[in-house]
Structure formats: C-alpha cells, structure tokens
Amino acid sequence: MSKYGQLVQGIIHAIERGDYRRGDALPSLRQLVQQHAVSLNTARRAYYELERLGFAEAQPRRGYVVAAGASAAGDSLAAPLGAPFPHPALYDTRALSHAFIGAMRHYHDALAEPALAGLPALRRQLAREAAAEGWELHADEVLITCGGMEALSLAIAAVTHGVVRPTLAVLLPAFPGLLGWLAEHNVRLLPLQQAADGSVATAELEAALARGEVQGIALMSAFAHPHGRSLPAATRQQLLALAARFDVALIEDDAYRQLGFDHHMPLPLRAEDHAGRVLLCGTFSKSLAPGYRVGWLLPGRYAELARRLKLAQTLASPLPNQLALAELLSGGRHLPGLRRLRQQLASRVRALEAALRPALPAGAVLQPAEGGYFVWLENLPADCEQLAAEAQQQGIQLAAGTLCQPGEAGRHALRLNASYFDPASQQPALDWLARAWRRGG
C-alpha cells in the first residue's frame, strides 16, 4: 500500500479504536509530515480523503478534528444530525455506475490524449451545461480538480500567491472547509456578516481594500453552507461592483447550486463577470457523484498560475472518474437522479424545520432554507459547543455553529443535517434538544 493509503488507513483505524473521539484534534499537516515522512501534498490529500469518508472535518483555529459523523468503537448514534455530508442513501448511483462501465471503453484512447487540465470531453460537457443554464464558459477555461476542496484551495492560493500577510474577506457564516484552510495556511480572515435579509455591511471591507490589505472576497452565492439561502440580487451587484472598484478577486464556491428546492437556479456570479475577477469553484460530489472526488475551477485571469499550482500539487485528476462523469452528463442522463435528490432533500429539510419550530425557545432564529441539506439555527440560549458534547452522550450528533461562524455568535448556533432526519425515530432527540434549550444548555 502507498504511503498515502497507509496514512489514511492508520488514522481511520485510530478513530475506530477510539484513540480519537468525535471533536478531538487530529495531528496537524506539519505533524503528519514529520511523523510519517511524507510530503505536505500527501498529508493534505490524506485529510481530503478523510473528509470525503466522513472521518475528519476542518475547524477554524483548530485544524482537522474527528468529524461528528465518524464511527468509533462503542458508538450508538440515534440521530446523526451533525454529519457534514448528505445521507448516501439518497443517491441513486445506478446511472453513474452504468456510465462508468460504458466510459471504460474509451479509457485506452483517453490515455493517449494529454489532459493535465482535465478530460476534454468533461470540460466540453461543463460548457454545454452552462449554456443550458443561460450563461457562457469555454471548455478551455476549465481546470478539472480533485474535488471541490482542491478547486477552492487552488483559487485561494492563486489569489494570495506571493503576498507576505495575505487576507481574505469571508462572507459568514461559511463552509468549515474554507475556514479551516485559511487557518491552516495562515491566511487572515476579515469577516463579512450577512444579515437576515441577505444584505452585507461593507464599510470595514472597503476601508481595508482602500489600504490594499485584502486580496479577495470568498463566498457562496447560491444555497450557501450552512443556511441554504442565496444572495439577493442587490447584494450580488454590491459585491461585484466592489470587486470591480478595487480590482480584487471574488472566490465563488458553487458546491450547492444544483441542490435548490424549486425550479429556479440562480446563475453564478461568474456569469456576470467579464474581467476574469471571479474564480468559480465547482464539484460533482454533492449533486451527482459522492466519493468520486472530481471538481472544477474557472480560474479567470489567474488561469496560468492556477494550472501551475495544480501541476505542483496533484499533477492531474483521476481519469476514469472524469470519463464516467462525461458519459453521465452526455444526453442529460444525470437529470432524473438530480431531480429526485432535490425532492428528497427538500422534503427532509422542510420536515426538520417543521419539527423544530414548536420547540424553539424565544428569540431563536430559523430561516427556511432554499436549497442544500442543512438547517441553521441562530441565537439559541445555550453554549452549543457544550450542548453538542452533552448530546453525544445521548447518541445525538450536533454540529456547533462555531464550525461556520467564529466567535460568540457561533457558540449560540447549530448546524443540523436534515438529510439524516427521520421523524419516526428521531423525535426523542428533538425532545431532548427542547429540554436542553429550556434549561439554557
């Protein structure tokens, strides 16, 4: 087994033995490099794989910790509502499996075609998908990556390349993987708080941009993690105008745009950008192919640098998985499964929201999600990090809001994974939560 495989399996075995419990800090990337004599890229790839498998997750200022959904010795989980990934039972993978088998007929030919930027057939399919949605991209702009996390990391690395004290403005609450990456790589965070109506106060950001202290703005514009809502049109235009005025990058994580609950799919900010300032990061992991680790990046004017960084980091992305996805996308064979997934996610999110509302304490905030698979609760009268630890003893997994919202506001917030919600069996878990809220934690 390769060093990479040994490293992944070793950490999994340590978690399964109970050497690391949920929420425990895992060794840092530097510690893995020193302890196991591997490269930094190998250590990073190992944690990406552990994230994909549900054993690790990134936390601000802590690095990687054992994920809430990780299975350890002696665990009995009645309500895995803290898991970071969608429930695998919701995916009908038959079409993808058939596409994989069919695509292998072209494997030998694809090997002969240089594809460091990604399989040309897959890049062309992405261009056709964009055209069908009503916006334009060119196949030669696309850089295929090892999952959406690599796309995001390449985008940040390109935007902050060569900067001694790099800083990104981040729209909060945010994807934990983004916050963890920034902390691990010593990129400072300038918080942008999104109000309940989707507006964003930018005075502090504008002052920092005027001083030349901020290299870019990182955000999700569609069905954002963790609250599942999209940016209003006015806020989209505000941020695009700000990027144009100060000529800085917008790093747009597009992981959830395919998971909206109605037929309206917002266009990415990249559709309105004609100057190459928006770097669009996409992935197939949430919508079509969990576990395939295939993502993509539109690097805009950072294209040459992003490709060099990709070449140095992982060289290229797995070819068989790209072939299968290109085959699946051709002819729209992915659309029935995607529609079913959206319907199931919408049903489970709405069911969890409805079950929670009668139990919410006064002042708590639950805004209905428009897409994705999370329910985000704010302004709870409890220390939710402590609450999550207590819930674990009851077989209830919760994700404290500090994963997505650093600071005091995050300590009074929860992120719940509705894709795992089963009203028939998990009502006792919600009853326990209601009692915990009434006593203040």
In angstroms, the Cα distances linking 291 to 36, 170, 284, 383 are 25, 27, 9, 34
The answer for residues whose C-beta is within 8 angstroms of residue 419's C-beta and 6 or more apart is: 83, 86, 87, 90, 344, 345, 348, 373
The 3-state secondary structure of 142-202 reads CEEECHHHHHHHHHHHHHHCCCCCCEEEEEECCCHHHHHHHHHCCCEEEEEEECCCCCECC
List for the chain the helix, strand, coil content (%; round to 5).
50, 15, 35
Rounded CA separation 411/387 (Å): 10
pLDDT in tens, the chain (441 residues): 677 778 888 898 888 778 888 889 999 998 999 999 888 888 888 888 888 778 888 887 788 989 876 665 444 456 789 989 999 999 999 999 999 999 999 898 888 877 889 999 999 999 999 999 999 999 999 999 999 999 999 999 999 999 999 999 999 999 999 999 999 999 999 999 988 899 999 999 999 999 999 999 999 999 999 999 999 999 999 999 999 999 999 999 999 999 999 978 999 999 999 999 999 999 999 999 998 999 999 999 999 999 999 999 898 898 999 999 999 999 899 999 999 999 999 999 999 999 999 999 999 999 999 999 999 999 999 999 999 989 988 889 999 999 999 999 999 999 999 999 998 889 999 999 999 988 865
CATH 1.10.357.140 fits 1-75, yes or no: no
Q: What is the pLDDT of residue 8?
A: 86
How distant is the alpha carbon of residue 324 from its chain centre?
Answer: 22
Tokens found for residue 292: 């395939």
Cα-to-chain-centroid distance, residue 337 = 21
pLDDT at residue number 274: 93
Q: Residue 324 and residue 235: Cα distance in Å, rounded?
A: 37
Predicted local distance difference test score (pLDDT) of residue 206: 97
List Cβ neighbours of 262 (8 Å cut-off, separation of 6 or more): 370
* CATH topology (fold) of 95-332: Aspartate Aminotransferase; domain 2 (3.40.640)
| 8 A C-beta contact, residue 402 and residue 414 | no
Instruction: Calculate the alpha carbon distances from 254 to 27, 187, 363, 422, 428 in Å.
Output: 29, 21, 32, 28, 35
- Contact between residue 399 and residue 82 where contact means Cβ atoms under 8 Å apart: yes
Q: List phi, psi (to 5°) of 280.
A: -100, 125
**CA triple 65-52-423, angle to 5 deg:** 85
pLDDT at 441: 52
Q: What is the pLDDT of residue 394?
A: 85
Q: Do the domains at 1-75 and 95-332 have one common CATH topology?
A: no
DSSP state of 43: H
Q: Could you give the CA distance from residue 217 to residue 192 in angstroms, rounded to a whole number? A: 9
Q: Are 415 and 226 in contact (CB under 8 A)?
A: yes
Task: List the chain domain ranges.
Answer: 1-75, 95-332
Question: How far is 209 from 247, CA to CA, in rounded Å?
Answer: 9
Amino acid occupying residue 54: G
Q: Which pLDDT score is estimated for 74?
A: 43
pTM, 2 dp:
0.83
- Tell how strand 374-378 and strand 396-397 pair up: unpaired
